[in-house]
Structure 1
């Protein structure tokens, strides 16, 4: 395989042919590369050996081969007809290894061969483009080759559906994008958009011929991924798709993106249409070099269905990101809650909050502040009691809202967290009575939240997403602490005690053997502190689907015990450290000490 660097094109070939002019450079099929480099497959040479056929087929899968037409030339006609490359994608830690297995029947050994492909599977991407990580797992698949009747040519006649890619090729070929849907369920704000991350091809999709924007809009219109579907809703009517033949969508010279739809959307009312347009606007605004300022949805006859500008879409801003809180709060060395005003991005002078948490008689250890910054919840220094009080007006410290009866402080209450609906959450880690509790509105009676998939694990820490439909949990089991994301399902009257459960827990940082701290950082991303097996502590970003951004590892800090991030990704990342106190990391900068004394620094939420 060779790369023509002058034109940014990579040719994949099993025959080893080379150009006669220009600079050349050997590259590995799965080495990290520039996502702008376009890769083309090369058909098998005449009388190619079985090894060359297998290598050429595997390399061709990493290409931008339209329709995988060249890739299919390594297959028999029947295998080419039945192979479904779009069924799913298996991601290995690196390009697959291959080994040849002889056919036992000696009479067939000259006409049939079997190859075994092996590696460590780290993820799959399903037909909905949803990424599903796994801890590195041994992978093995077989390819069967036959010598074509009446010729000496070897071809693959048995191949599993889907694509098989090394991790670096996957990152070169695909990119993560957020689709947006509206939160549903009792007490839901029906205008709250929730991010649903998927992976689409970086350039043109070989199967559909669609560019990246069109792939993304198509995926949006088709509906949410299965994991998120029970708690979100799309305003696109069932059966709505892009108008037939649409393969390229791009904003015009006025930054207007026009999206042609089929007849299913023709009769949509203006309110629903505006909500549909807001889903498109927030989904595509980071995909093009020109910022999309307006979305126009079109009927099947090309007439305008509705138009929505970016200013009008603010009412649907995902996770309340428009005007989201940006102050920080922490517990000082006297056990009182203090606030750092948000206007100075972590550099201002702290001040005690109003009310009993700012100057009351009980020393606190951790704090969580409601997103409207009216109420806060703090856990006492012995971790036994949770108090909820105003941070904007004076008053007496109320009785504890929750009390843990565990014997040891480390077995009592976790740090509290507030969701985007104004509910307060806390975990009681008592070995004799482990509970995940929710206080409706922050002041309601504590109610137990069911977590069917918890098994024998213990909740060490929790953080709620701003959209109110997802929860991040640090779970300890068998001596390791891992990060999992759960979906929050609510049933019943929102004005009474609801039946709330956290279901379908999935790993969000499988590459880390132990996670010690985490925080939401934006709409579908978390910042985590942890260690790989046998490694040192690192601070890094992970996507809510468990994938890791290419630039996810952050500068190291000394002995980080907790971390805090805001919904606004431009605000500094904050952390508690053993040696340097509370530190911050602004975009493009290094860690800087903010306060030498203090702990449990948090953003509202």
Structure 2
């Protein structure tokens, strides 16, 4: 179940080099280069006749053409880039027409997909001679524009603004805001005197618009270890065969960063018996599996069926799933309901004038029985079920009860704002402790200190556990700037946290971050200061950052101090330093004032 691709493992282990949201262009280019070892995105496997092209209202299939006669080197490169984007639909046959015979044999397009933004500012020069100097240029002279009639080889090169990279498993890693990567194409004349690309890096280089038209993101679902909740991993695949690729990814198991934090109903060795998932006109996706699935008992089959249904029904055109083995129907009992994308289990809570209040629509009402906080200096709040926790100053965590009591949970300097998970554990960290997070069980005060090696040298600023309890978002600061990272939580059979996996970075395109909250099962809302020279907090950007996707920036909020979220992108709230509470307007484009005088505000989870 837990088979992990080398590319995914490399991406996880090198995340420290990639995760800074404030690093410079040189560091960004180095980080992206670390991804060059990615193998192949699974788009080249044989596809049975039953595999269909999914129809989506906004889907575009690029139509590309081979090189025209007497095309210039730049026209050849531009045509090659366009053909790369459409290549997943035709085995890159058109793209290879732009290459020399030798390059056609050597180029492997099934490596990483590098997505760039804007245009490529390519400069043409004569190819270097054996001594490393371009023909016609002295050792210290600027290379002149080549005379295409007089040379047989040229180089087109220039910087690309990198938006992100997709690896073999479909995992998207967003690049930092100013990430650059040098790209280069060596062209030579063939026997007919036509320019063709003779040297090109493996993988494909795709513009953001072309990437958006060819690829789609889709969640691939695994299971929480207690078998109650579906936990997603966001993956990106060519939309033409997205159903087949999503099932392949599910059967291959979770990525390294989620390993042991989730489980799967698929027995080891289970695969597609035919490399295709056929979707008929009625919307039924037929999944034919190999023999190892027969080793699963009926409960395990039911769980696998639930995973496949949850995964495939997120794809346009799929309404049902039929499981077979060698063409024979696989007996699967009805599975018990598994929770997907859990909603907050209660109303949002806040502090107003020293009183704990709950939000109902746009009205805040006192929570009956709770102690007054007026003299306690509350600075942060967290809630889940009947567990309500406040941070007092920066050195105490207390549990509040409707009996009017405040019971101590933890006392030490520099505690960060708490987060309560669905197992009743209260998570925090300390700005003064190097690489350690603390979880305290609210019911009995049991304490777990988790040493997190990837936080070594970092100052923890924020900890937020996802509502499914399988992942945690950690905001920290260090020499490279501020990072927001998400890691899988490995727990024992009782739900007690044992360790964190190596993380993946999110919100890489932001310049800095000050707060974070889970919006849905794959998205984190991040409060980040704008990178335009203004003073921090003057106009703070609110961003929606998918775990494995491109960050979407919302309208800034003046003097924003904190972010909270219910379930969904319309349920994001921002509190300002002056106590104004805003939520997204009905159009989703602006912010609407909810109420004023709010000192703290949070949703359960």
Correspondence for 1:401 among 395, 409, 413: 409
1:460 and 1:266, CA in 2 relative to 1: closer, same or farther beyond 3 A? same
Residue 379 (structure 1) shift = 1.1
Partner of 2:577: 578
Partners in 2 of 1:553 and 1:104 — Cα distance? Answer: 43
Partner of 1:384: 395
TM-score normalized with structure 1 length:
0.79
8 A Cα contact 1:486 1:506, kept in partner: yes
The aligned length equals: 524
Say which structure, 1 or 2, has more relative contact order (CA 8 Å, 6+ apart): 2
TM-score normalized with structure 2 length:
0.79
Residue 349 (structure 1) shift = 4.4
8 A Cα contact 1:319 1:420, kept in partner: no
In the TM superposition, 1:435-450 aligns within 5 A as 435-441=436-442, 443-450=444-451
Q: Does 1:217 align with 2:247?
A: yes
In the TM superposition, 1:392-471 aligns within 5 A as 393-394=402-403, 396-398=405-407, 400-405=408-413, 412-429=414-431, 431=432, 435-441=436-442, 443-471=444-472
Partners in 2 of 1:276 and 1:537 — Cα distance? Answer: 43
Partner of 1:564: 564
Q: Does 1:367 align with 2:381?
A: yes
Partners in 2 of 1:75 and 1:165 — Cα distance? Answer: 17
Matched position secondary structure for 2:173 = strand
Partners in 2 of 1:145 and 1:159 — Cα distance? Answer: 9
Q: Does 1:295 align with 2:321?
A: yes
Partners in 2 of 1:446 and 1:304 — Cα distance? Answer: 46
8 A Cα contact 1:235 1:275, kept in partner: yes
1:426 and 1:111, CA in 2 relative to 1: closer, same or farther beyond 3 A? same
Partners in 1 of 2:127 and 2:434 — Cα distance? Answer: 59
Residue 119 (structure 1) shift = 1.2
1:483 and 1:245, CA in 2 relative to 1: closer, same or farther beyond 3 A? closer
Partner of 1:538: 541
Give deviations 1:307-338, integer Å, cap 9, x for gaps. 65xxx55x2122545xx41411111212x322
Aligned alpha-carbon RMSD (Å): 2.9
Correspondence for 1:329 among 338, 349, 352: 349
1:576 and 1:160, CA in 2 relative to 1: closer, same or farther beyond 3 A? same
1:114 and 1:571, CA in 2 relative to 1: closer, same or farther beyond 3 A? closer
Partners in 1 of 2:285 and 2:333 — Cα distance? Answer: 10
1:363 and 1:103, CA in 2 relative to 1: closer, same or farther beyond 3 A? closer
Give deviations 1:356-406, integer Å, cap 9, x for gaps. 4x5796342321112xx21211111x222111243xx415432x221124x
8 A Cα contact 1:423 1:441, kept in partner: yes
Partners in 1 of 2:477 and 2:553 — Cα distance? Answer: 23
Question: Unaligned regions of 5+ residues in structure 1, if any?
Answer: 1-33, 205-209, 406-411
In the TM superposition, 1:478-517 aligns within 5 A as 478=479, 480-490=481-491, 494=494, 500-517=498-515
8 A Cα contact 1:236 1:276, kept in partner: yes
Matched position secondary structure for 1:305 = coil
Partner of 2:8: none
Partner of 1:473: 474
Residue 60 (structure 1) shift = 1.3
Residue 478 (structure 1) shift = 4.5
Partners in 1 of 2:443 and 2:202 — Cα distance? Answer: 50
Q: Does 1:137 align with 2:169?
A: no
Partners in 2 of 1:570 and 1:91 — Cα distance? Answer: 25
8 A Cα contact 2:579 2:599, kept in partner: no
Q: Does 1:316 align with 2:341?
A: no
Question: Unaligned regions of 5+ residues in structure 2, if any?
Answer: 1-56, 130-134, 137-147, 534-538
Correspondence for 2:267 among 225, 233, 237: 237
1:482 and 1:44, CA in 2 relative to 1: closer, same or farther beyond 3 A? same
Residue 355 (structure 1) shift = 4.2
Partners in 1 of 2:569 and 2:76 — Cα distance? Answer: 49
8 A Cα contact 1:296 1:307, kept in partner: no
Matched position secondary structure for 2:62 = strand
Partners in 1 of 2:309 and 2:368 — Cα distance? Answer: 38
Partners in 1 of 2:493 and 2:549 — Cα distance? Answer: 33
Q: Which runs of 4+ in 1 moved over 4 A?
A: 106-109, 358-361, 432-435, 492-495
8 A Cα contact 1:582 1:599, kept in partner: no
